Amino acid sequence: MKKCRCGRSGCVCILVMKREYGMEKNLKREKEHTTEYVLQKAVCFRAGEFSKEEKYIVPEEKYDLYLNGEMIHTFFCSPWYLEDLAYGFLYLEGYILKSEQIKEICVKQQEHRIEVVADKECDMHRQDVEETRKKAEERKISPKEIMSLAAALDERSHRFRLTGGVHSAALAKDGEILLMREDVGRHNAVEKLLGACVREQIDTADKTIVFSGRVAAEILEKAAAIGAPTLIAVSAPTSRAVELAEEKGILLVGFARGESFNVYTFPERVTIRATA
């Protein structure tokens, strides 16, 4: 990996040269230039009294996405893992099929811009998610693993615990969370997770998605793009999300809290004795 020579203040530029990093050994993070939390003065009411306090709130900022010099989208998001957000959006919208198409990505924090240089043409084809999922549908998952992953997501959600305003989306295997992405927006959180999977070229056929929010149809579609055959959510799904999960062969679990959960599709894949 090489840093770009733009030399501009507040700029985290990465020239994609080689795939030398592992699952969580990502491109140089923009953490040095971003805000983890915002300390906000508030008037709080409790026990019949008002008091002036300072509260941590989650940052939300506007970023414009440029592809080959043209602005194509505006994000309202938390300023973390912005490269992954760009990868996820470009993949979902069909601008890229593989991570190799992106030659340079530059996050300019002060200008609130994400600039991407990518090949327009690609001789590769989008991974056949449906075929991949068919091969993975024989994999079972146990109630213990479902409850364990929901608990693990909650335990790792430090930003939510501090601010109460963050959604989390994680990729897991065999009861262990492999990577997690967070954002003030639930759609952004899933797109960041997708972007990480695309960029890292992760084989998701034997993985599980764990999600902190409710699952509407758009969330289900984005989760389907990731390619994992199982989606565990802490909250409820919508009727259309359940229909899509049925169509796409996704085991959809909701209300995974404590020692209980609901299975909305393919209940036969939840067994006491799970197989990898």
Please tell me the distance from the alpha carbon of residue 116 to that of residue 65, in angstroms, as a whole number: 8
Q: Which helix (H) or strand (E) holds 85?
A: helix 82-92
Amino acid identity, residue 53? Answer: E
Q: Tell me, yes or no, if 122 is annotated catalytic.
A: yes
Q: Among residues 6, 13, 77, 122, which one is catalytic?
A: 122
Q: Which two tokens stand for residue 26?
A: 């990502």
Distances (CA, A) of 235 to 198, 213, 262: 26, 5, 10
Number of residues that make up the chain: 276
Q: Spell out the residues 6+ positions from residue 36 whose beta carbon is closer than 8 angstroms to its own.
A: 59, 80, 159
Continuous H helices in 93-233:
129-136, 143-156, 158-163, 186-200, 217-226
The pairing of beta strand 113-118 with beta strand 70-77: unpaired
Please tell me the distance from the alpha carbon of residue 263 to that of residue 64, in angstroms, as a whole number: 39
Give the residue numbers marked as catalytic: 122
